[in-house]
Chains A and B, each alone.
Chain A
Amino acid sequence: MKLKAGIYWGAGCGGCDVAVLDVHEKILLVAEKMDLLFWPIALDFKYDDVRAMDDGEFDIVLYNGAVRNSENEEIAHLLRQKSKVMVALGACAHLGGLIGMANFHTKEDLLKRVYVDSESTVNEEGTLPQEYWEEAGIPLELPRLYGTVKTLDQVVDVDYYIPGCPPVPEQIVNALVAVWDGNLPPKGSVIGAGSRTLCDECSRTKEEKEITEFKRTSEVITDPEKCLLEQGLLCLGPVTREGCGSRCINSNVPCRGCYGPLEGVPDQGIRMLSALASVLEPKEEEAIDELISQIPDPLRTLHRFSVAASILRRKKI
């Protein structure tokens, strides 16, 4: 019997959905083994159809995207109820992702930036989206935008995580194969990735580190054999789970951390900060300040994908 599967996007960019398609000819294998009953980006299938299903009827649901409005959350609860296995797919569902960086701002600031202040916008009246509106007696309702972006597991119980922005397509297939083989790891595991950091699979040579300067990728032609961090590029490889196949690093681009921290590390960004602080070459306070000031936007650089899952979670309001 075929597995019943669903794929949903919360607050995401659609990249994870594309990654599912990126499995190329293996999509045939997917089609052979499972019925995709629900996939809003690709199939016309309504929420009410899901509501009509039995509890636990989905064998597996892949939820990508973060939770940042009432619709994301409502469907997360619905799908949880209707599925046996709930998987957080991709960095947004796993850690809040890039979208989680909204937590460094207030909801009001964000709306003002997008709908009033942005360079390409003309909005002299300062009109902002409303959750509820009546026009000619017809009520119009939009999902409510939350002030804080959440990870999927901050809203519902999650069985497994497939990390990445986007996840490596083969890893998605592997996860599906694991479900139909009934070969699942302990609940709460990160699947489709390794248990060590990216440095373990990274083929560059590594020495004892002493950082003397930070550079941006545009400012340097890197040595393809040497550790990027040792070349002054802020590579998050040391704090990031392996499994992506070093896609960025092999292209001379430092790791941005999308696969998230290792098991037992509560805060990827702070962990990197702590590690960096340990290997700065200067020992005098002023020289340290000078070096640190070379890191562009350290808060967002270090927490690019993991703000919502970090210890602080958001800016203080």
Chain B
Amino acid sequence: MSVRIGVYLCHCGANIAGKVDIDAVADFARGLENVTLVKDYKFMCSDPGQALIQKDLENKLVDRVVVASCSPLMHENTFRKTVERGGLNPYLFTMTNIREQCSWVHIDSDRTTEKAKDLVAASVRRAFLLEPLTKKEVPINPRTLVIGGGIAGIQAALDLAEAGKEVVLVEKEPSIGGHMAKFDKTFPTLDCSACILTPRMVSVGQHSNIELMSYAEVEDVGGYVGNFNIRVRKKARYVDSELCNGCGACWSKCPSSRVPRKGNVHEKLSLGPTTSIYMPFMQAVPAIPVIDRDTCLYFKNDSGACGICAKECERGAIKYDMTDEIVEFEVGNIIIAAGFKTFDPAKVKRYGYGRFDNVMTALEFEVMNCASGSTGGNILMADGSEPKSIGIVHCVGSRDSHYNEHCSRVCCMYSLKYAHLIKEKTDAEVYQFYIDMRCFGKGYEEFYDRLLSEDVRFVRGKVAEISKVPVTETEEGKLVVSVEDTLLGTVRRIPLDMVVLSTGLEGSETLPEIAKLCSVSVGKDGFLIEKHPKLGPVSTATDGVFVVGGCQSPKDIPDTVAQASAASSAVLSMITREKIEIEAATSEVDEDKCSGCKLCNTLCPYQAVKFDEEKEVSVVNEALCKGCGTCVAGCPSGAISAKHYEDRQIFAEIEGIFSGGL
């Protein structure tokens, strides 16, 4: 039976037609074998453009469709649906990119037109060999796993729970709350962080649709969209959460300490009790303490001496023999809200962190400011006295090719917040050492303006060094910040009592492991890669896995919450569908050819290839397979083929490119 290929050329306004001679390409396409119809239109993706294709299909004028327009990432799905509406199997359509890979990237118009012709010729050859494929459907489990209990995970979990869907929230720390729970105030409104966060934490703890697994880590993720199998390790708290009522009797009598007893004010910074049995902070959810095995006397002495907390606990909740518990369950979708870590400034030796007292990180400064913390919210020097001058150094570990190239987005604003808090709480002079002030959010520039009138000194320049070698009398006993003031055009030495390093944000240590489990990629910057930076900001390359908050990129609380709600609505959209279609262009193993060499078994980035011990052949789980072709390239015997991208189709394309239209 003869094949009738329709070629549809898109002008994309002037995006393509401005460079490519569409008429010439159309004439060329008419001369190609099996092409029976060629049309062009200003915007093929528009309703009338799509209608052109649909009508030709309905009138049975063509039975293969080639659309030469933009990138498949942009509109492959659009045209697949068009073709489907026209009554043709969507896999009998192929797309040629004559925009991103042609008109946008070349200068010479004639040669660009020639390239467009070659690309069309390649697709026509490919179209001739296309085969119809059938999409499969799988049901979606309505339960969702949220990894991480910071504000991102809390928001996502609450959104879903409120919509009546079950959520399992797994948090690796003893309490949910994340970084936000350590803050005293939030910028730019200066509202109390605990006041807005705590009610949500409590809601999570009490919600009947949320199963909270704190002090727990996801160990394994199997399965695929709609049907993930999860294994979680609940670490031993040594406190029975069924029996404990959080009264605090245990830690009030605990004789050992998890923070250095003889440390200075900064070394002893803490939010919750400093004892070995402790809650990370007093508003912890769940309000169940844990025992720090490393410092607990009971665990340090093999003899089992101490045991005071067990004696103090009236409810008998202390269980020294508790072990880790493994739980397994199924979910349909996963939201990764694994958060961030702050840059370790000890790497920047010249800033003296860890060598000099009174050089502290932003997060330590946050804790010190917290009213419920060990200093009662007072800003103190290491020796307990009040500082007379404080410098805030911006961009520590951010915007620096030695450490992280990215801007951490929140440091300018929290640095301004610190300046305000210092002014509010002390009489100290405040210096801001900044490269650029980036105050882009709602109310942020206004907050900067406000600080400009609060007697804060802004020095534009990157700090070269923090030293303790005095040159003048005024520098005696001070931290000396050397900086080039680029506005004054001079190098300055500024003696200060205390320096806060505004450390940047990085992907957390556990992020690569979580990413691997969920088949999500980690970018060069250490953050998780979303499906599309603009059009798929919370989805990932793996269906059913979403990313939100600081693990996707540095972001402030409003953006994090917005993203979390975006992901939860994306999940709800999935759940509401009840079923999901699975991409039909997957890999398949020809069992007659597979020799069971196992070479492909480790290759799949989506863990879709497994070995069938009984048949002694490798098998591809179609629900997991993304059709990336890695296993196809790896298979030495040619037993694995990629549907829709078979070797013969690809070779036909290559031949088409070199055919010159013959």
- Interface on A for B, CB 8 Å cutoff? 195-200, 206-210, 227, 237-239, 242, 261-266, 271-272, 274-275, 277-279
Contacts and interface: CB of A to CB of B under 8 A. Distances in A.
Contacts of B599: 209, 238, 275, 278-279
Given A195-B592, A196-B593, A266-B647, A271 B636 contact: yes
Interface in B615-662: 630, 633-639, 647, 651
Contacts of A272: 636
Contact of A238 (B592, B597, B633): B597
Contacts of B638: 261-265, 271
B592 A197 contact: no
Given A196-B637, A274-B633, A278-B630, A209 B602 contact: yes
Contact of A278 (B594, B603, B639, B651): B603
A266 B635 CA distance: 13
Given A207-B598, A275-B599, A197 B637 contact: yes
A116 B600 CA distance: 48
Given A238-B597, A242-B595, A278-B599, A266 B636 contact: no
B596 interface: yes
Contacts of B600: 278
Contacts of B592: 195-196
Nearest to A261: B638
28 contacts: A195-B592, A196-B595, A197-B597, A199-B596, A200-B595, A206-B597, A206-B598, A207-B598, A208-B602, A209-B598, A209-B599, A237-B597, A238-B599, A238-B637, A239-B636, A239-B637, A242-B595, A262-B638, A262-B639, A263-B593, A264-B647, A266-B651, A275-B634, A275-B635, A275-B636, A277-B633, A278-B633, A278-B634
Most chain A CB within 10 A, of B593, B603, B636, B639, is at: B636
Contacts of A262: 593, 637-639
A199 B602 contact: no
Contacts of B636: 197, 238-239, 271-272, 274-275
Contacts of B598: 206-209
Contacts of A274: 633-634, 636
B601 to A, nearest CB: 5
A206 B594 CA distance: 14
Nearest to B634: A278
B279 to A, nearest CB: 42
A179 to B, nearest CB: 26
Interface string B147-162: 0000000000000000
A197 B651 contact: no
Interface string B584-595: 000000001111
A242 B595 CA distance: 10
B211 to A, nearest CB: 35
B316 to A, nearest CB: 49
Contacts of B601: 208
A238 B594 CA distance: 10
A85 B122 CA distance: 38
A262 B598 CA distance: 17
In order of increasing CB-CB distance, the 10 nearest A-B pairs are: A278-B634, A238-B636, A200-B595, A199-B595, A199-B597, A265-B638, A275-B636, A197-B637, A197-B595, A239-B636
A98 B370 CA distance: 78
Contacts of B594: 196
B593 A279 contact: no
Interface in B324-383: none
B254 to A, nearest CB: 46
Contacts of A198: 595
A276 to B, nearest CB: 9
B649 to A, nearest CB: 13
Contacts of B637: 196-197, 199, 238-239, 262, 265
Nearest to A242: B595
Nearest to A239: B636
Contacts of A277: 633
Contacts of A266: 647, 651
B24 to A, nearest CB: 32
A264 B648 CA distance: 9
B212 to A, nearest CB: 37
A235 to B, nearest CB: 10
Contacts of A210: 602
Interface string B542-565: 000000000000000000000000
Contacts of B630: 278
Most chain A CB within 10 A, of B595, B600, B601, B647, is at: B595
A279 B634 contact: yes
A68 to B, nearest CB: 27
Contacts of B647: 264, 266
A261 to B, nearest CB: 7
